[in-house]
């Protein structure tokens, strides 16, 4: 399970992840169709490259790597735990594509670590007792 911390509206982010899970459900097959379309375009581009270079270039390796990466990141699903940074409220979303969950967790954890360092370095004594919306 991947953990994503939301600094903004966690309920809105929860709806977005529910939508991504819905797109990845077995009845829709949207990611499979998009992957098939991308594979078809990739085959056409590989053939065009081979024809225009006179058969000297046939970049099938990059094409194979892109198919494997797509299958890893969007062919597998995982659970995501969304947490509100200020209130601590958590929600869990099932069947989120692995690529979305992985990138979201990495960016979220890095962002929160940077925010905590800035809060530590730039805050005044006693500022931790103020509301997060104090400056507004």
For 37-91, the pLDDT digits (tens) are 988 998 898 889 889 988 888 888 888 888 888 888 888 889 999 999 888 999 9
What pLDDT is recorded for position 78? 93
Structure pTM? 0.75
Strand boundaries in the chain, DSSP class E: 2-6, 77-84, 90-97
What pLDDT is recorded for position 136? 60
> Average pLDDT, stretch 8-37?
87
Cβ atoms of residues 81 and 96 within 8 Å: no
Cβ atoms of residues 112 and 86 within 8 Å: no
What pLDDT is recorded for position 98? 92
Is 112 a residue whose pLDDT tops 70?
A: yes
| CA dist., res. 87 & res. 42, Å (int) | 46
| CA dist., res. 80 & res. 101, Å (int) | 6
> Please, what is the average pLDDT of the chain?
87
Please return the burial class of 24, using the count of CB atoms within 10 Å of its CB with bins 0-12, 13-18 and 19+. buried
| CA dist., res. 42 & res. 48, Å (int) | 10
Domain boundaries, the chain: 2-129
């Amino acid at each position: 399970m991947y953990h994503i911390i939301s600094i903004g509206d966690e309920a809105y982010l929860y709806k977005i992840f529910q939508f991504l899970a819905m797109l990845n459900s077995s009845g829709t097959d949207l990611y499979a169709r998009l992957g098939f379309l991308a594979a078809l375009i990739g085959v056409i581009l590989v053939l065009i490259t081979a024809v225009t270079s006179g058969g000297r270039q046939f970049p099938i390796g990059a094409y194979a790597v892109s198919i494997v990466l797509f299958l890893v990141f969007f062919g597998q699903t995982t659970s995501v735990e969304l947490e509100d940074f200020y209130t601590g409220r958590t929600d869990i979303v099932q069947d989120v594509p692995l690529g979305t969950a992985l990138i979201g967790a990495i960016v979220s954890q890095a962002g929160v670590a940077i925010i905590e360092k800035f809060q530590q370095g730039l805050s005044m004594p006693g500022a931790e007792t103020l509301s997060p919306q104090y400056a507004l």
